[in-house]
């Protein structure tokens, strides 16, 4: 069974631009969660989608948004990029809700904002 | 809101020595608790989880963790560390029921010396 895949793996953008990251969960998994990982901050929860509905949202500004498609694939979008958005963005999928199940993580998308 | 604290940012142990990584959580009721490991260049992998029942939980790779309600702790242990255990370890907590977000600690980086 294929694991969680994320594309692209690396991105370089400039301030003010927008970016879209993609995540394909493990087949059959209905939950997709997104996290921002930065040194010293650990993993900061962005949002969780389950069956195309946003179930939970973290404390990030509205510039961060996401969606989930009927095949459970998910995208997250960051508009008006800031230098502080430079981070590793991780996607994780689970059969059930993330809080009650094992999450399987993808390799991440490394975003650099110049 | 729940929170989780990993007081040790960095730990160094000798190969073959025992290991204990600390995790303290803040939540009104008994939460769901997780330990994940992130090896260099790899995604996060679940080591073990606690939902209820026996407070000593066995995981993969020879790890175990003990839930202590009175101390609000969920420390990870391994009796004999191998060089391949060098990685970053994350404790995570979610309110029981799984309907709310998973909160991760800031991580403990483990270095193993010969």
pLDDT at B100: 84
In this predicted structure, the answer to whether residue A106 has a pLDDT above a threshold of 90 is: yes
Which residue among B94, B104, B106 places its CB closest to the CB of A40?
B106
In this predicted structure, the answer to whether residue B101 has a pLDDT above a threshold of 80 is: yes
**How much of chain B, in percent, has pLDDT values that exceed 90?**
79
Strands annotated E in B6-107: 10-14, 19-21, 24-26, 32-38, 44-50, 56-58, 64-68, 73-78, 87-94, 103-104
> How many residues does the structure list for chain B?
114
In this predicted structure, the answer to whether residue B1 has a pLDDT above a threshold of 80 is: no
Q: Is residue A67 less than 8 Å (CB to CB) from chain B?
A: no
In this predicted structure, the answer to whether residue B4 has a pLDDT above a threshold of 80 is: yes
pLDDT level of residue A105 (50, 70, 90 thresholds): very high
Mean residue pLDDT across chain B: 93
The closest of B2, B19, B16 to B89, measured between CA atoms, is: B19
Which letter does DSSP use for residue B70 in this model?
A: G
At A99, give phi and psi (nearest 5°): -75, -10
Listed by number, the residues of chain B in 8-27 with a beta carbon closer than 8 Å to a beta carbon of chain A are: 9
Nearest CA in chain A to B37: A105
CB atoms within 10 A of CB A58: 16
Mean residue pLDDT across chain A: 95
Which residue among A44, A100, A105 places its CB closest to the CB of B44?
A105
In this predicted structure, the answer to whether residue A1 has a pLDDT above a threshold of 80 is: no
């Amino acid at each position: 069974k294929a694991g969680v895949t994320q594309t692209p793996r690396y991105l370089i953008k400039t301030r003010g631009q927008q970016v879209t990251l993609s995540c394909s969960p493990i087949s059959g998994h209905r939950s997709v969660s997104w996290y921002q990982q930065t040194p010293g901050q650990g993993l900061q929860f962005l949002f969780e989608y389950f069956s195309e509905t946003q179930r939970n949202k973290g404390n990030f500004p509205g510039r961060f948004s996401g969606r989930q498609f009927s095949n459970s694939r998910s995208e997250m979008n960051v508009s008006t990029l800031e230098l502080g958005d430079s981070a590793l963005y991780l996607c994780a999928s689970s059969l059930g809700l993330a809080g009650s199940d094992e999450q399987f993580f993808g390799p991440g998308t490394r975003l650099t904002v110049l | 809101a729940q929170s989780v604290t990993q007081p040790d940012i960095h730990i160094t142990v000798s190969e073959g020595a025992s290991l204990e990584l600390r995790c303290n959580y803040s939540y009104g009721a008994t939460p769901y608790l997780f330990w994940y490991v992130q090896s260099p260049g790899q995604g996060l992998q679940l080591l073990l989880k606690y939902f209820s029942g026996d407070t000593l939980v066995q995981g993969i790779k020879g790890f175990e963790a003990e839930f202590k309600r009175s101390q609000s702790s969920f420390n990870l242990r391994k009796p004999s560390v191998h060089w391949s255990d060098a990685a970053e370890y994350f404790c995570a907590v979610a309110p029981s029921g799984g309907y709310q977000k998973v909160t991760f600690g800031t991580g403990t980086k483990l270095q193993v010396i010969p």
